[in-house]
Amino acid sequence: MRVAYGAASWSGRALDLRDVAVSVRALAAGVRATGSVVVDEGRELRVHCEPPGRVFEHVGVVSPGAAVDVRAALAAVAWSREESVDGVEALAAAREELAAVEVPEVDVSAARERVAEARAAAEAVTADVAAARGAVQAREDLDADVDAGRERLRAAVADASERETELVAAEQALARERELAREARDVRERRLSLADRVGRLEREVRANRVATTWSAFRDAVVAVPGGSLDDVDAEPGSFAGDDATAALAAVRVANVTTPVVVGIDRFDDAETAHQVLDAPVVLAAD
Amino acid sequence: MVVILVVTYSRAARQALRNACRAHEDAVVRRFGRVALLEATAFGAFLGLRLRERHGGDVQLERTTPLNEFEDAFADAREAAVAYEDRESVSTPYAKFAKERDLPSKDRLREQEL
């Protein structure tokens, strides 16, 4: 790796920048943006290194405040070691199958809205018809002129019939859309069960990855400074030690080419850290 | 009692339904996995419609009513069900059973819209 900070620069697999005012956070950002300039305390920092992968995201920055999810970290570690574990092929196949599911587009809501509107319109005009009919009846009872009333009644009846036709058409359209939606739900149901299957396989693969690295992790905990075997349970993933120890042990087990940014005071010098962690290292003051 | 039936068809919608049911127990009649029955109140509808708004076709909403088997519409189905469940030999298929007793055939039951 090569680190340029302000006017100075360093290169090698083990760098000790604890006496330089560059922060752990800035170095981590520099590794993430490898090749690009990041600004720290008004000075330009640029880190050239192998781009970070899964392991870096979990344990690439070891500092007092960094929380480590041991199981997730070890799953990444196993991945970096290209450990073959059961379930990987099944997971890939299930993911592929899930991605291939296409749910047909169905818009039932427009059809629902049309029915509701048509029904309201049809009901509204029913009252008009009744009123017009009543008015004609009243005029007839008085032997009065009913021509205008009949005309109104005729218009109201025509209007009602038109709206009734629209309601029937709207209901038929809704029935068709509902049928399509029902078919689409079969596909959605299949997609959901595939998604659940992917979820189950992901958990299974992760558990297998954790299990496959567990004994190496156990050995690594003893090998890194600050670690104790008492903290490692026989049950894979069950670790009672501190986050920094977990991170250091995970890095030691992992196959990493991206520099690890170490901001804790557990190594005398960068070369020792590099030897213990078996990874490119840059030490920084937290 | 009329209820609102909510069925979800994605992990996100299912989780959202779970959360909604947990947060508003008073509006939930019952929940089974990715399905729930909500009170048929405007609030129950509000919960269901929020899910539909966010998750679209992954949320199915229905308004359902209890079934009263003593209504005329269900008479044929009820009589057939009662008689068949009371049969002496469990292995008798319904088709044979119905023919012997003047009960409606499966096809006739299928054709009868309620």
Question: Which residue has tokens 């509204």?
Answer: A124
Beta-carbon separation of A192 and B34 below 8 A = yes
Low-confidence residues of chain A, pLDDT below 70? none
Beta-carbon separation of A181 and B9 below 8 A = no
C-alpha to C-alpha distance for A245 and B11, rounded to whole angstroms: 36
Considering only the beta carbons, identify the residue of A106, A184, A192 that sits closest to B11: A192
Closest among A183, A259, A278, A286 to A15, alpha carbons compared: A259
Low-confidence residues of chain B, pLDDT below 70? none
pLDDT of A148 reads 83
Considering only the beta carbons, identify the residue of A106, A188, A199 that sits closest to B10: A188
pLDDT of A238 reads 92
pLDDT of A65 reads 85
Please report, for residues B69, B82, B87, B111, B112, the alpha-carbon distance to residue B76 in angstroms, rounded to integers and kept in the order given. Answer: 10, 10, 17, 12, 9
Q: Is A79 exposed, middle or buried (0-12, 13-18, 19+ CB in 10 A)?
A: buried
pLDDT of A202 reads 95
pLDDT of A145 reads 80
**In one letter, which amino acid is A209?**
R
C-alpha to C-alpha distance for A183 and A175, rounded to whole angstroms: 13
C-alpha to C-alpha distance for B18 and B32, rounded to whole angstroms: 10
Give the gap in angstroms from C-alpha B14 to the nearest C-alpha of chain A.
10
C-alpha to C-alpha distance for B8 and A108, rounded to whole angstroms: 16
pLDDT of A138 reads 86
Give the gap in angstroms from C-alpha A222 to the nearest C-alpha of chain B.
41
pLDDT of B33 reads 94
Residue A61: in which H helix or E strand, if any? strand A61-62
Q: Using only C-alpha atoms, what is the Rg of chain A?
A: 36
pLDDT of B92 reads 92
**Can you give the residue ranges of every domain in chain A?**
2-85+214-284, 100-204
Can you list the pairs that A235-239 forms with residues at least 24 positions away whose Cβ atoms lie under 8 Å? A236/A74, A236/A207, A236/A210, A236/A211, A237/A70, A237/A71, A237/A74, A237/A207, A237/A210, A239/A70
pLDDT of A169 reads 96
Give the gap in angstroms from C-alpha B48 to the nearest C-alpha of chain A.
14
Distance of CA A14 to the CA centre of its chain: 35
Beta-carbon separation of B57 and A188 below 8 A = yes
Sheet with A37-40, strands from edge to edge, namely A8-11, A2-5, A43-48, A37-40
**In one letter, which amino acid is A107?**
D
**Structure token pair of residue A275:** 């030897």
Closest among A14, A52, A7 to A273, alpha carbons compared: A14
Beta-carbon separation of B14 and A181 below 8 A = no
